A and B are shown apart, each in its own frame.
Chain A
Amino acid sequence: MPDIRIENLRKAYGDVAVIEDLNLCMADGEFTVLVGPSGCGKSTTLRMIAGLESCTGGAILIGGRDVTRLEPRERDLAMVFQDYALYPHMNVAKNMSFALRLARYPKAEIDRRVREVAETLDLTAYLARKPAELSGGQRQRVAMGRALVRDAGTFLFDEPLSNLDAKLRGHMRAELALMSRRIRKNMIYVTHDQVEAMTLGDRIVVMRHGKIMQAGPPAELYRKPANRFVAGFIGSPTMNFLKGELVEEDGRLRVDGAGFSIPLPAERAARLQGSARRAVEVGIRPSGFTPADGPDALQLPVILAEYLGTQSIVMSEMGGARVTIELMGSEPIATGGTRMFRIEDKDVHLFDIETEQAL
């Protein structure tokens, strides 16, 4: 299995650059997820790797081989499209075997592979059906099967689950995770859904405006977001952002804002030495609020409580700004009134107001 390297990749339509100076390295057998909001360039990047889109500059190397100017068929990859892209005039078996038939594989080998993959994807009963006669989930599996049959070196997925309903999407996500573990190939997966990114990826690449904001394992992105954008994009419910100021008192650093004052741990205070009176953006995960009593606990109103069974999502207010609080527990929380919370300092993220970089 080859590793994939993207070097200084650039894509422009006329004067408008949609991808600029993108550098990325994907190791053997790694499941990489490109994630970001609409228009961030993730699909364009994937399509350039596939060879469906030309590159304005830079290079794409698969297994050390420069494939930048090669046709898709010369890149040894398989792709699952958002709308499945099945051939409407061919039945499931023909759809799955198209690439093998083009490559003139022996008929017995084609049959064997199609049967094998159809069995793993539970499609054996539908081999003679045309795509029009299948449900959305089945068509999705055929698209997956078509990619699997080829046994290509790299698998590309362009938002393959976004046309499915929530329940089926969850199911297919699990299937996909199992499949990727089983076949251990290079997988590059594009999605705008951070839950998909977190659950599937060995590595997540967060993109915005054609640039990589941060790349790393899911836990790293969640725990140590490199900037405000990644912090806001990864994690559900999303992080709360509040205006604050670093204050030094008695040699200890803390962050103050409207309605809160959180002391910073010594390690971080050391990093921020000399930053007193600096205005910052404070990011607090909804899970960073814990019910507490005591003098330094914050009293926050429960404006709205959404009960989800094992947890509740509380909408509250801190110094005039809306905040979301995630509380574990199967007991419903009543809307109205106030509750006491403490903010764990390890759950507090600080960002530069100007550069939005993490401090």
Chain B
Amino acid sequence: MSVATANRLTPYLFLAPALVILLGALVYPIIYVIYASFLDWNPSQRIGEASFVGLRNYAKLLSDAAFLESLRVTLAFAAIVVSVEMVLGVGLALLLDRNMKGLTVLRTVFILPMMIAPIVVGLMWRYMYHPTIGIFNRTLNSLGLEPVPWLSDSSWAFAAVIIADVWQWTPFIFILSLAALQSLPKSALEAARIDGARGWQAILYIKLPLMLPVLIVTMLLRLIDAFKVLEVILVMTNGGPGLSTEILSLRINRTASEFRALGEAAAMSNILLLVLMALTLAMFLYTKASEARSRRLAAAQEPAT
């Protein structure tokens, strides 16, 4: 091998360990799960012993009412929590984007829920929702009101998991929105005040449009996360009552562990993966577009020539 060729190959040699890890840790499991989704495979078999069934698992899922219900619950859950969190998070950021004493402490308090482990959040809310000793029903009781079947009624249970998720993840939207707000050009906001904009008009016509790139990325990140939520719901309701809170990750978990249908669970995972990939792709494309836009803006903000 000539010196030139060796020199050319050296960088690849240094990159090789990372590539091997990447292939082993990332690509192998994905290929494995894709392959598994074509098998009729139960946990007592080795993967080699499972019989190949082609697309049968996917076909079955499309006519499986429980799976379709779970998909519907997941979509509804993700859509509702992300919408509510966006409104609350952005609203809070707009409220707290000012210089007031004690706001730093308040901001820190607001982001605390996000730092708690989901399993703890689940347990905490389960106790708060407890029909007799939970704080909600005890409060209702002390006010002379009827207790609410928080986790035992399907409609209430769905609302209960949404409330817990909103409580935990609104801070995420809040901190990103606040960062976006604080990086807005101050003089444009002042110009709007001079131009006659009232507080809400400045928000509607200047702040929100300028924050939009950050808001879209934040929303997509939250959507991706909301599709994968598991622990909080697992601890709070375990998908029940009935299938009312059985989101896809729970369904996958049950299919694999309870129904012992690894092939089907793999097919479900792949469908979830496809949905998430579509969202990620959307985010990627959006980031690309907004990067190009901010490059143009940055170029424009350079001193005039």
Contacts and interface: CB of A to CB of B under 8 A. Distances in A.
Interface of A: 50-52, 71-73, 77-79, 81-89, 98-99, 102-103, 131-137, 139-140, 146, 150, 163-165, 168
Nearest to B209: A89
Given A132-B299, A132-B300, A165-B305, A73 B191 contact: no
B2 to A, nearest CB: 50
A51 B194 CA distance: 8
Contacts of A73: 193-198
B205 interface: yes
A85 B191 contact: yes
Interface stretch (B34-42, B116-124, B155-163, B182-190): B182-190
B206 interface: yes
Given A73-B197, A136-B305, A163-B304, A85 B187 contact: yes
Main secondary structure of the interface of B (DSSP, over half): helix
A78 B196 contact: no
Contact of B304 (A78, A81, A82, A139): A139
A150 B197 CA distance: 13
A135 B194 contact: no
Contacts of A99: 195-196
Contact of B296 (A72, A132, A137, A165): A132
B96 interface: no
Interface of B: 185, 187-188, 190-198, 201, 205-206, 209-210, 293, 296-297, 299-301, 303-305
A163 B303 contact: yes
B213 to A, nearest CB: 10
Given A88-B210, A165-B305, A81 B191 contact: yes
Given A52-B193, A83-B301, A89-B210, 19 more contacts: A52-B190, A71-B193, A72-B194, A73-B194, A73-B197, A81-B187, A81-B191, A85-B187, A85-B191, A98-B192, A98-B195, A98-B197, A102-B196, A132-B293, A132-B296, A137-B304, A150-B195, A163-B303, A165-B305
B224 to A, nearest CB: 26
Nearest to A97: B195
A134 B187 contact: no
B98 to A, nearest CB: 14
Q: Give the 6 A-B CB pairs with smallest separation, nearest first.
A: A136-B304, A85-B187, A132-B300, A99-B195, A85-B191, A73-B196
